[in-house]
Amino acid sequence: MGLVFLNTFTRKKEAFAPLEPGKVELYTCGPTVYDFPHIGNYRTFLFEDLLRRYLKYKGFSVVQVMNLTDVDDRTIAASRKEGIPLSEYTARYSKAFFEDLKTLNFDLAEHYPAATEHVGEMVEIIQKLLKDGYAYESGGSIYYKISAFPGYGTLPHFKPDELKAGARVAADSYEKEEVGDFALWKAWDEKDGDVFWETPLGKGRPGWHIECSAMSMKYLGDRFDIHTGGVDNIFPHHENERAQSDAFAGHPVVKYWLHSEHLLVEGKKMSKSLGNFYTLRDLLTKGFAPPAIRYALISVHYRLPLNFTFEGMTAARGALERLYDFQRSVKNAKEAREGVEVGHAIHKARETFEQEMDDDLNISGALAALFDFVRETNRLIISYGLSPKDKEKIGEFLCKLDSVLGFLKEPSVSIDLQVEKLIAQRNDARSQKDFARSDQLRLELEKMGIILEDTPQGTKWKKRL
RNA sequence: GGCGGCUUAGCCAAGUGGUAAGGCAGAGGUCUGCAAAACCUCUAUUCUCCGGUUCGAAUCCGGAAGCCGCCUCCA
């Protein structure tokens, strides 16, 4: 069985076959750079990172585009409130975003286009939509006419007339022919301040959805393989984007739609008013290590709501410590003659890992394969030790898995002189069998986050994650 | 009101007809000066509940309850 994804468009698991063999074109909806992204954003971005990494693991060459939304109601309002230019405002949060990507060990996408740099492309699409009868002008703005697009509502599984019964109705609906119609181009108004473009469409700014149509087609062409985002984007954003792109191209543009579920915090939707709203930086401040955060956000299947809790963070930390301890055990294992067992264990683990990941990125099964491998290998280490060749094979295997997981490399830590001295003092105390003193020093170090292990090869230390 | 999803041990979670993976936490043991790590053993006769289909169901069907999401700019 090969790679299978659940396609939101069909609601079915489908065998993955890229348009061009060996190559995958991937469009992933990126952040609106108006604030520090929260861990829910990163849950989705990490799902996309896992997807990208696994596609590469499978041997595909991947071209990924992640857009940066740097003009919309929120960015305009926030920059005006601060009294600084929009570009200066969004640059601040773009920078923070890329810092976070580095912190969480993202495998970077090929393109991170910004909306404000693609207004020309957006205008071109809108002009064609106008010409082809998919759009109309009203009050200086331009709207997409959803009734002109057959199959509108297929992605979110709505019928257009069901939208009218919806609870919320846009405030400016009087300008539109139908409530479901949405803005492609927004005429300038006072609230926009100095944020506008003078274009053949008039003075104004683009609507939200059009940027993704423009940037996806610019970098990936008018047919590409996978489009992803959070479930909240299914409607309206992705459906509207689909309506625009497909009408423009004259055929379906996206082959597979994948959506990740949201993250909850302590069982509740994350919100600033509930005080359960966390950015990546908040978690770092609380002392959680980046790989543990990555583990926690990636280890629940992307189509399941992830209930983020501090208990869960602690569990993630524990699991990772086991993986790091294992790698140390491998390194320090006593020398043994080469056997076939390690080869078998690796083979089995790899098969299971791939089989699980092939099934719509079943990360739980894939991680179980890894942990089974850890236990099996630990047994071998206890009974026999490892040959240098086996150590090498294990290292290569873990490295291969880490090209997908991205959290297996323990962050390098250095200890300061004081800690080094305490460890030396404790060793002295131990060699003189002054165990009271030795235990006291060990406790002291533990409070500093340094864990000691007395092994036949001497005392080893590690830093708590 | 409409549409959709979820409910498996203290917590997270895999498992889509054949008798409950894995992780964290916990208990006991081996090892250790004591620990830590590791290993071994144990921790759900049972999968929200009630019916049904079947030789057999966590898995399929029907019903109920609870939680959650979307229904026009929130990943």
319-348 of chain A touching strand B, CB 7 A cut-off: 319, 322, 325-326, 329
Nucleotide whose C1' lies closest to the alpha carbon of residue A301:
B13
- CA-to-C1' distance for A303 and B75, Å? 13
Q: Based on the domain organization, do A94 and A126 belong to the same domain?
A: yes
Nucleotide whose C1' lies closest to the alpha carbon of residue A45:
B75
Q: Based on the domain organization, do A107 and A127 belong to the same domain?
A: yes
Q: What is the pLDDT of residues A390-432, one digit of tens each?
A: 999 999 999 999 999 999 999 988 878 899 999 999 999 999 9
Task: Compute the mean pLDDT over every residue in chain A, rounded to the nearest whole number.
Answer: 92
* Cβ A446 to strand B below 7 Å: no
Give percent of chain A with pLDDT exceeding 70. 97
Domain membership of residue A371 (yes or no) is: yes
What CATH code is carried by the domain that includes residue A217? 3.40.50.620
Q: Based on the domain organization, do A387 and A446 belong to the same domain?
A: no
Q: Which residue is nearest to nucleotide B13 (CA to C1')?
A: A364
**A164: pLDDT confidence band, cut at 50, 70 and 90?**
low
Q: Based on the domain organization, do A103 and A145 belong to the same domain?
A: yes
| pLDDT score, position A159 | 75
Domain membership of residue A180 (yes or no) is: yes
- CA-to-C1' distance for A365 and B20, Å? 15
* Cβ A465 to strand B below 7 Å: no
| pLDDT score, position A267 | 80
- CA-to-C1' distance for A368 and B19, Å? 21
| pLDDT score, position A409 | 96
Residue A165 above 80 pLDDT?
no
84-123 of chain A touching strand B, CB 7 A cut-off: none
Q: Domains in chain A: how many in total?
A: 3
Of A164 and A132, the one with more pLDDT: A132
Domain membership of residue A275 (yes or no) is: no
Q: State the Cα angle at A54 between A48 and A58, rounded to 5°.
A: 145
Domain membership of residue A175 (yes or no) is: yes
Residue A115 above 50 pLDDT?
yes
User: Residue A362 is part of which domain span?
Assistant: 286-405
Q: Based on the domain organization, do A422 and A348 belong to the same domain?
A: no
Q: What is the mean pLDDT of residues A354-358?
A: 96
Domain membership of residue A5 (yes or no) is: no
Q: Based on the domain organization, do A290 and A232 belong to the same domain?
A: no
* Cβ A304 to strand B below 7 Å: yes
| pLDDT score, position A415 | 79
Q: Which of A384, A405, A426 corresponds to the end of one domain?
A: A405
Nucleotide whose C1' lies closest to the alpha carbon of residue A158:
B3
Domain membership of residue A1 (yes or no) is: no
* Cβ A385 to strand B below 7 Å: no
Q: Based on the domain organization, do A234 and A378 belong to the same domain?
A: no
Q: Which residue is nearest to nucleotide B2 (CA to C1')?
A: A162
* Cβ A381 to strand B below 7 Å: yes
* Cβ A430 to strand B below 7 Å: yes
Q: Based on the domain organization, do A300 and A250 belong to the same domain?
A: no
Q: Which of A363, A385, A405 corresponds to the end of one domain?
A: A405
- CA-to-C1' distance for A131 and B69, Å? 38
Residue A174 above 80 pLDDT?
no
Domain membership of residue A411 (yes or no) is: no
- CA-to-C1' distance for A92 and B22, Å? 41
Domain membership of residue A455 (yes or no) is: yes
Least confident of A118-122, A127-131, A456-460: A456-460
* Cβ A276 to strand B below 7 Å: no
139-178 of chain A touching strand B, CB 7 A cut-off: 146, 156-158, 162-163, 165-170
Largest pairwise CA distance in chain A: 90
- CA-to-C1' distance for A167 and B72, Å? 10
Residue A166 above 80 pLDDT?
no
* Residues in contact with A148: Cβ distance below 8 Å, sequence separation at least 6, in sequence order: A133, A134, A247
ipTM over 0.90: yes
- CA-to-C1' distance for A426 and B36, Å? 15
Residue A168 above 60 pLDDT?
no
The candidate with the shortest Cα–Cα distance to A41, out of A202, A256, A278, is A278
Q: What is the mean pLDDT of residues A283-301?
A: 95
What CATH code is carried by the domain that includes residue A387? 1.10.730.10
Q: Based on the domain organization, do A156 and A213 belong to the same domain?
A: yes
**A173: pLDDT confidence band, cut at 50, 70 and 90?**
very low
Nucleotide whose C1' lies closest to the alpha carbon of residue A29:
B75
Strand B bases near protein CB (under 7 Å) are 1-4, 6, 11-15, 21-25, 32-40, 67-75
Q: Based on the domain organization, do A303 and A242 belong to the same domain?
A: no
Residue A53 above 50 pLDDT?
yes
Q: Which of A382, A405, A428 corresponds to the end of one domain?
A: A405
**A170: pLDDT confidence band, cut at 50, 70 and 90?**
very low
**A433: pLDDT confidence band, cut at 50, 70 and 90?**
very high
Q: Based on the domain organization, do A173 and A78 belong to the same domain?
A: yes
| pLDDT score, position A27 | 97
Q: Based on the domain organization, do A247 and A346 belong to the same domain?
A: no
**A167: pLDDT confidence band, cut at 50, 70 and 90?**
very low
- CA-to-C1' distance for A321 and B64, Å? 44
- CA-to-C1' distance for A188 and B31, Å? 75
